[in-house]
Amino acid sequence: MSERGPATAPSHEPPPETPSAPQTAAAPQTAATPKAAATPQTVAVPARAPSAPLTAARRTGLLVTFILGGLSALPPLSMDMYLPALPQVTGALHSPAATIQLTLTACLAGMALGQLVIGPMSDKWGRRTPLLIGMVVYVLATATCALAPSAELLIGFRLLQGLAGSAAIVIARAVVRDLYDGVEMARFFSTLMLISGVAPIIAPLIGGQILRFADWRGVFVVLTGVGAVLTLVVWRSLGETLPPEQRQTGGVGSALRTMRGLLADRVFAGYTLAGGFAFATLFSYISASPFVVQEIYGASPQAFSLLFGLNSVGLIAAGQINGKLLVGRVRLDKVLGFGLAVITAASVSLLLMSTGVFGEVGLVPIASALFVLMSAMGLVLPNTNALALMRTPHAAGSASALLGTSSFLVGAIASPLVGIAGEDTAVPMALVQLVCSLLAVACFALMCRPWQNRDPAV
């Protein structure tokens, strides 16, 4: 792959802004104030002025933060609220666990493939219209999931749900790139994790409580309501962040050439693949943990939900340490490398425990290793996104699509592998996690080559 980024940047440095690029260099920003706050025609403004005496820029920044946090929370809500119901769905639809896990895979694959379409669309037509269309289709698809009479139809409806829901993921990341630069973008991604990270905590808890009063279909009814509310908020309060003069021109061929140019940048591709394999490590846990924790170790759906929420607290805490304490003081590459090392170490310990090297272990050691693994994701995911997007100011939508697609596609492949040996062993989960974490380390070291980074800020 090429040593130079698609904007002819020196190796491993963010591409310089050139006259041909649609975005000009910005002055340093504060984490609370978007760089586009001075251009009200391109930034959302609240429909009603809040009573608190905030400045217009701060009001806008807070509003955008909460809206983007809600959009980023949609994928974990769509998947994690459904997790406690997986064993119930297996029995209700008379299908094996591996087949029901494909409902997760289908949603994830849809989110991966949809981003490849919606990302370039948002570069060409702006962020707002593709986002609203995707959200409306998401609501309709989620409502249909609640009516699915068979596992096969549920898989199909979940695929459509993922395709539509991908608009929330890819456009939220592109809006962040529209509004922020440099280390401030990394800080904002960490702040976004604080908001969106609440979803993995409350989603399984809500799902577990729903199962006390309704069957698994009730989970999708609640998700339909969540999607409808978020769609209304976006329609009323999120304005356009990509001005017409900064939009891409051309058709499908131009979009494909842009993506090819992005992938030809070795460093961008390295961060993209490292983030993708790290996400696959995370998603193998998401896919397998309902069966590992509940079927192998005998935890109730409510106990599983509490453990899952505790792990999400660790992820949020690490993300805040990253954004508030490390970004701007420690190079992003160093933090990313440390996070990948911790994930690898946790995966090794899980594999050793699940294969019986330490004898028969209970739930506490397994849960502790999973907590460490999940927490380290707070150091990996925001920094891979920020470091990759720093190189692509001219095509944030397409770059965001490639970042999301790689993560969700690799995760979709890893998901069925964790159940390939049945429901009575955690070895496949631990093995998939270890392989994916080692691949993430390899992509980071061999393609990104952080020791060649000449920018002390990142």
What would the pLDDT profile of 105-143 be if each residue is shown by its tens digit? 888 788 878 888 888 888 888 888 899 999 999 999 999
Q: Mean pLDDT lowest for which of 95-104, 140-149, 217-226, 417-426?
A: 417-426
Render pLDDT for 52-71 as a digit per residue (tens, 0 to 9): 333 333 445 677 788 888 89
Cα of 40 vs its chain's centroid, Å: 28
Q: Tell me, what DSSP letter sits at residue 197? A: T
pLDDT at residue 340, rounded to an integer: 96
pLDDT at residue 131, rounded to an integer: 93
pLDDT at residue 315, rounded to an integer: 87
Span 167-183, average pLDDT: 84
Distance CA 415, CA 407 (A): 12
Query: What end-to-end distance do the CA atoms of the chain give, in Å?
Result: 22
Span 223-231, average pLDDT: 93
* Model confidence at 388: pLDDT above 50: yes
> Residue 456 — very low, low, confident or very high, per pLDDT cuts 50/70/90?
low
Q: pTM, whole model, 2 decimals?
A: 0.68
Span 195-216, average pLDDT: 79
Span 411-420, average pLDDT: 75
* Model confidence at 38: pLDDT above 60: no
Q: Mean pLDDT lowest for which of 136-145, 273-282, 303-312?
A: 303-312
Render pLDDT for 359-381 as a digit per residue (tens, 0 to 9): 778 788 888 999 999 999 989 98
DSSP letters spanning 327-350:
BTTB-HHHHHHHHHHHHHHHHHHH
**Could you tell me the two tokens for 79?**
């998947």
Which residues touch 37 (CB under 8 Å, ≥6 apart)?
43, 56, 57, 60, 61
Cβ–Cβ contacts within 10 Å for residue 8, how many? Answer: 12
Are the C-beta atoms of 18 and 26 separated by less than 8 Å?
no
Q: What angle do CA 137, 138, 144 make, to 5 degrees?
A: 90
> Residue 169 — very low, low, confident or very high, per pLDDT cuts 50/70/90?
confident
Which residues touch 442 (CB under 8 Å, ≥6 apart)?
none
pLDDT at residue 135, rounded to an integer: 95
User: In whole angstroms, how far apart are CA 129 and each of 125, 171, 405?
Assistant: 7, 10, 21
Span 135-153, average pLDDT: 91
Give the SS3 label for residue 265: strand
Span 402-417, average pLDDT: 79
Give the SS3 label for residue 130: helix
* Model confidence at 352: pLDDT above 70: yes
Which amino acid makes up residue 240? E
* Model confidence at 448: pLDDT above 80: yes
Render pLDDT for 208-223 as a digit per residue (tens, 0 to 9): 888 888 888 999 999 9
Single out the residue of 291, 413, 275 nearest to residue 343, CA to CA. Answer: 275
Of all residues in the chain, the percent with pLDDT exceeding 90 is 22
Which residues are bridge partners to 330 per DSSP? 327
* Model confidence at 27: pLDDT above 70: no
Task: Decide which of 377 and 297 is more confident.
Answer: 377
pLDDT at residue 250, rounded to an integer: 67
Q: Mean pLDDT lowest for which of 3-17, 67-81, 296-310, 390-404?
A: 3-17
Q: What angle do CA 45, 47, 53 make, to 5 degrees?
A: 75
* Model confidence at 30: pLDDT above 80: no
Of all residues in the chain, the percent with pLDDT exceeding 70 is 82
| Highest mean pLDDT of the ranges 274-278, 328-332, 383-387 | 274-278
- For 150, counting Cβ atoms within 10 Å of its Cβ (0-12 exposed, 13-18 middle, 19+ buried), the class is exposed
* Model confidence at 426: pLDDT above 50: yes
| Highest mean pLDDT of the ranges 294-308, 329-343, 411-425 | 329-343
Task: Decide which of 81 and 76 is more confident.
Answer: 81
pLDDT at residue 273, rounded to an integer: 94
> Residue 51 — very low, low, confident or very high, per pLDDT cuts 50/70/90?
very low
Are the C-beta atoms of 276 and 409 separated by less than 8 Å?
yes
Distance CA 7, CA 268 (A): 11
Give the SS3 label for residue 2: strand
Average pLDDT, the chain: 78
Sign of CA pseudo-dihedral 386, 387, 393, 398: negative
| Highest mean pLDDT of the ranges 281-295, 362-376, 380-394 | 362-376
